[in-house]
Amino acid sequence: MTPEPQAKTFRAGLVQMCSGRDVDRNVRDALALIADAAEQGADYIQTPEVTTLMELDRARLMATAEPETHHSALAHFTEAARRHAIWLHIGSIGIKLDEGRLANRSYLIAPDGRIAARYDKIHMFDVDLGNGDVYRESESYRPGNVAVVAPLPWGALGLTICYDLRFPALHRALAKSGARFIAVPAAFTRVTGEAHWHTLLKARAIESQSFVFAAAQGGRHENGRETYGHSLIISPWGQILAEAGQSPGVIVADIDGAMLDDVRRRIPSLTHDQAFDVVTGGPLPPDRL
């Protein structure tokens, strides 16, 4: 488990975007919103999934993507973290890999500009929503296979991305590994967002007894996709501390670690796991009753 942090309170800022097909413009927009959040006193700032490029066409996506070793956008973001002296969490960038696919990768950047943690999205958004919207993320992206808990001055941060939200076992594993905060940068579709976004985020916060930070994409993008927006900061008790609308912008909230400690003390469910078997096909045998 991560040692108990010394600092208890900080301000979290979430950047909501409507990223398009022009990487340079997306980076400029992100940097301006990051500066806005920093001016509002945010110590930790998170951007949404696919911050630098919203692109569904595989050929255009692959032609635009860069490897991490000389990624131009990443250099701008590390400099922004230094300039504002913040913990900057870039929700995700498509990073070109050697094998002809990308990683959907998030970066946690320290105030000195070093990359403190990386996380590759584990669960791929391969769905048919039944209204003509079909997504096959795995055709372009290689899924990750490592969950990441990263240290912050106020406690540990569990990293996830978008579709990971639908897999509660991941979030519980992060919390039981020491996470006090869980990041969910996302680009939820309008259809799934209207139906499930608030409910899933509240459930993950309550189940993991963690603060949840979910910076989102919102609006109609150049490629025709429409995302839901409504970036959220949620307490371990399931309270919405800050919420955006559907347009680009910034939300902030003050995060009280003592409140988290109180929730975990009152309902210590993270320590109450019990082993069990699953029986199918008939009644329980007498020795299991």
Q: What pLDDT shows up at residue 7?
A: 66
Is 18 one of the annotated active-site residues of the chain?
A: no
* Catalytically annotated residue among 18, 55, 96, 121: 121
Q: Which amino acid is at 264?
A: R
Residue 129: what pLDDT? 84
Measured CA to CA, the distance from residue 250 to residue 253 in angstroms comes to: 10
Give the pLDDT confidence score for residue 284 in this predicted structure: 76
Given 18, 55, 137, 162, which residue is catalytic?
A: 162
- The whole-number pLDDT of residue 2 equals 44
CATH topology of domain 9-272: Nitrilase/N-carbamoyl-D-aminoacid amidohydrolase (3.60.110)
Q: Which of 18, 49, 55, 137 is catalytic?
A: 49
**Tokens representing 17?**
């975007």
Q: How far apart are CA 219 and CA 99, in angstroms?
A: 33
121 is annotated as an active-site residue: yes
pLDDT at 289: 66
Spans of the chain below 70 pLDDT: 1-7, 288-289
**CB distance 44 to 15 below 8 Å:** no
**Could you give the CA distance from residue 12 to residue 262 in angstroms, rounded to a whole number?**
20
Q: Which residues pair with 155 in a beta bridge?
A: 152
